[in-house]
Structure 1
């Protein structure tokens, strides 16, 4: 999942980026409100982690502009310990959750996963597509009840597809969600991971199909009718 982290403290920003990357999120990091506002106008994210005390444009204004554009991306705000007024303002402006500093990295990761699940309409931790099952707590896949061995990139691609809940996603958007803003990455690299996943799913009824002009879609195929 692709996450935007907006934090002006370099040490904290690096620490959070490392933790989220280790938790298998693709992270873009901005250090001021103007940069965050700009990227949120042009890029698509699964979650925004937003500090309120930002230079150039404060976090509340970034949030206000985001919701004014009717962007529904879930927002987790980071606040200084005891700043109740800012928490209330943030929630009133459309933030989905808040976390007071200092906080444990494990709690940040758990809240991030919960907000992303909720934004996709999945309050539970388990999702299925035919024989393919996904557990969003440990981000693991099982196929026909057995663990499915995946590389980190393969897992990230399959995770995006299953969270789309039957909606297609084009190659460019899928690439952005996996690799973040990285102009050195060719979107065609996604085809490699899709090919590998198809090989791992080929003996099941779960399949990644290509819809012309729309992109990739994860679906459960109807098994052939048995012959009497």
Structure 2
């Protein structure tokens, strides 16, 4: 070490220490003040959240149907969406349980709790081509057919309006009768074998009874 004239060895050493601190001490101090990134923060930045997978139409429909009071026939062996898809297929049939598809919806399905809400949602999702059938059922503008039973003549539910009706098919032992309001037989017919049978129910009739004749449909 080169000694500064007039300065002792101890003083020179102290001066050297001060000079060295002045060269590097500033940066070291600033670096010490900077907080170091924690491993947790780095891991959080690097971790990307998985995108949320949207529910399928089937899942949405199942949740909606399960939260309603509606129950599909056959739902016990599958999901509500599976049952609704089956209903969509049925609505494409020409006849359901002796009724027109719209009549079947109106008299068998729309009468259930939340029927209109659930069926409307299902048709919109899975078979929009059946929307007209559902609308006719809701509006009551469907054609009514009549199977086995005794019907009071008139307008309204469970009644048969006056008019001409026809049934077709491989008819065996088909019987019908028209009776007065007091129950007297006005006219009747028994066909042991026929392909088509026709009857006119009159406004003054009291009841119309049919057995084993299939579906009576209005003649337009």
Question: What TM-score, normalized by structure 1, do the two folds share?
Answer: 0.31
Question: What TM-score, normalized by structure 2, do the two folds share?
Answer: 0.32
Rg (Cα) greater in structure: 2
